[in-house]
Structure 1
């Protein structure tokens, strides 16, 4: 049974890991194409526009989380009609959010430009880029729902296929539109939009039997209230987490250009760690969610123990890699001697990060599977206030070391609060 269970986990983890890795590789192609344009304003404008779109889609990631939880639970409870109802409700919610993004495109751009204060050329590039990218918002947000649903159904190989093909098409169209058709910045954005719609069509075809016919009764306030409550709780959780991560950058900026550059480099270690730990969390979401749908307490406990083992082993591998190759990674990320020297002195924080953070990554996946978004929200709010901002205030005299100690404290608090609740609620 143990071997079979671990094979089931592996069947989700490894395809999702490959899918996760394909995303930053695409970013390298985008950077290469834009970075070889003659104007610096092109790179700056695309960076601002991509930041805005990425943040909006990241906040809308609640759709992916709730879709996975619902999909896994209805798989376990064998409720195809309930599954169809929830899927349609999430599809409708995704399209509404996409419409809001389109409607608010101009004020959102103006807010970013007000804060960043770029020159006129950079501002124009950003607005042109965003104007094209928002055309893909319906497909991008539908992809969050559909890919989340496929993960919950444990179809991770197909998810990998969709994302790898989509990212490959995006990279190829970048080259065709920019170098072949001379579409410039609009070509970079259009390539992404085309890839988003291709991925959406692939996912819709995979789920066509489950989507079925839509019934108007599913969209009464009473019917859709639970979906809205879960997504609003997850949105608050995401906003609190994003505030903490943004504060790391802002605090670094107050400490000088070198410090903000160092923090940017060190946050890449967190991004690398998330590629693997998220893959294990996806497995927890799908398998714990299925067990929750079956109302099988023992199976929930078993999947948590097994995925926790995977998470711990992967965290140890990450920490070992950062210990052995951390300086090489820093040298690969920056050529600036001052940034390199300071980043190396902060390397112990990057080494500790996977061992400290993997608990909350895994437990987030567990609670997504259980569909208990309110617990995730409460844990994140408490951890942000008591585990991040309070230590940050108390450690002001420690400079940037205080910032990184506060970030590690945030992950500890998230792990302890979620783990404590799980132990109290689910342990025998």
Structure 2
């Protein structure tokens, strides 16, 4: 199998898995958007909160992939799967804690972020139910992590599609036919997580490995997780700030931001499919002490990311006058969408390179660098412009200019790091 075909054999199934959740959220946004601006804004704030907390814990997926891939490359598959067992235990413990904390914090956080009492009420109503999906989301993340590490992309594809596919059919029925409105959206979301998580747990139980928790292995995972967590906090501070600023400007502004942001998240994960393949291949190569191949994969995936990102930018430029109408008929929301849309389109080539090289460096276990570069980009670029947009009334233009600065700083950082070669440390454990 040629290097390109091997990369695509991992990337294409990963693309479907990565796209499934944001695609479901796009369906959810379109369904709820026809209830009106307030339910759409409430869903926006709730989904951002849920997504950002999940993103804080990406080490359960990406960190597990990096470690499992190195062990797999060194010929130690059983130990690679064992990393998935410990990641799953962490998912259960952390997820249950988040359910408790989230139920207590739902009202004050919604009041802080929503911008109006109506939107806050809608946000809390969704969160009270949707929070129960958190442990299940984390279990699915851990399952994806170890399976990617051992280059098994077929089963995660089936598991995630089963959950999200059934839920996508259920959502419009519960929201519009049964008449449960935003509550129906939250229930459909939890159903998706129950189905997918159950399938990942069943797969792990079928492996010939011990299912007992190992505190020492979990501590080792948390060590890498610490750097990825701090990196995640930088993302969350930025994106929550952006949604908060949009919500305090107007209901139409936050509704438009939700539509473009969900498309952004969707395309980001589409582009990340090459990064997922790179994580597995880079980790395998470094585990097998093949530094030359790891470097080759890094630049290959960066080139493909640039091509793929550019193509997506062209496609969504052509859809600018049509696609937003699929999510809402509210004229005020539609009038705000173009203020973010053209930033979204223009940034896709940069996203292609940045996300691809993020995958390379995460696969190499270069978590400390990822932490530092992301913190720099957030605090020197994204956050100052977001809050300036609020203070000076720049609207969505200011918010998305901040996101642009964030990506440009990260682009310079990851390209420089990849060229340096300091990330390519060989061995089963970094």
Query: Which TM bucket (shorter chain)?
Result: 0.7 to 0.9
Q: Does 1:307 align with 2:301?
A: yes
Look up the match of 1:15: 13
Of residues 246-255 and 146-155 in structure 1, the stretch that sits farther from structure 2 once superposed is 246-255
1:327 alignment partner, SS class? coil
Of residues 64-73 and 397-406 in structure 1, the stretch that sits farther from structure 2 once superposed is 397-406
Aligned pairs for 1:29-428 (under 5 A) are 30=28, 49-115=46-112, 116=114, 119=117, 123=121, 129-174=126-171, 188-210=185-207, 212-214=209-211, 218-220=214-216, 223-252=217-246, 260=254, 263-333=257-327, 335=329, 340=334, 343-344=337-338, 347-389=341-383, 399-400=394-395, 401-426=397-422
Please give the per-residue CA displacement for 1:42-78, whole angstroms capped at 9, x wherever unaligned.
Answer: 7776665544433332322331111221221211112
Determine the C-alpha separation between the residues in 1 that align with 2:320 and 2:23. 20
Assess if the C-alpha contact under 8 Å between 1:140 and 1:196 holds in 2.
Answer: yes
Please give the per-residue CA displacement for 1:182-209, whole angstroms capped at 9, x wherever unaligned.
Answer: 8776665444334323212322333445
Gaps of 5+ in 2: 425-430
Assess if the C-alpha contact under 8 Å between 1:41 and 1:122 holds in 2.
Answer: no
Give the superposition deviation at 1:126.
5.5
Give the superposition deviation at 1:274.
1.0
Determine the C-alpha separation between the residues in 2 that align with 1:345 and 1:41. 20
Give the superposition deviation at 1:267.
3.2
Q: Is the alpha carbon distance of 1:319 and 1:112 closer, same or farther for their aligned partners in structure 2, counting shifts above 3 Å? A: same
Assess if the C-alpha contact under 8 Å between 1:136 and 1:197 holds in 2.
Answer: yes
Please give the per-residue CA displacement for 1:216-258, whole angstroms capped at 9, x wherever unaligned.
Answer: 6x323xx433211211211111111122233334444566666
Q: Is the alpha carbon distance of 1:319 and 1:133 closer, same or farther for their aligned partners in structure 2, counting shifts above 3 Å? A: closer
Give the superposition deviation at 1:167.
1.0
2:84 alignment partner, SS class? helix
Gaps of 5+ in 1: none
Please give the TM-score of this superposition, normalised by the length of structure 2.
0.83
Determine the C-alpha separation between the residues in 1 that align with 2:261 and 2:47. 18
Structure with the greater alpha carbon radius of gyration: 1
Query: RMSD across aligned C-alpha pairs, in angstroms?
Result: 3.6
Instruction: Report 1 or 2 for greater relative contact order, CA contacts < 8 Å, sequence distance ≥ 6.
Output: 2
Assess if the C-alpha contact under 8 Å between 1:73 and 1:292 holds in 2.
Answer: yes
Assess if the C-alpha contact under 8 Å between 2:257 and 2:340 holds in 1.
Answer: no
Q: Is the alpha carbon distance of 1:33 and 1:399 closer, same or farther for their aligned partners in structure 2, counting shifts above 3 Å? A: closer
Please give the per-residue CA displacement for 1:392-411, whole angstroms capped at 9, x wherever unaligned.
Answer: 68898793545433321211
Determine the C-alpha separation between the residues in 2 that align with 1:300 and 1:69. 13
Of residues 98-107 and 142-151 in structure 1, the stretch that sits farther from structure 2 once superposed is 98-107
Q: Is the alpha carbon distance of 1:51 and 1:241 closer, same or farther for their aligned partners in structure 2, counting shifts above 3 Å? A: closer
Q: Is the alpha carbon distance of 1:167 and 1:422 closer, same or farther for their aligned partners in structure 2, counting shifts above 3 Å? A: same
Please give the TM-score of this superposition, normalised by the length of structure 1.
0.83
Give the superposition deviation at 1:412.
1.3
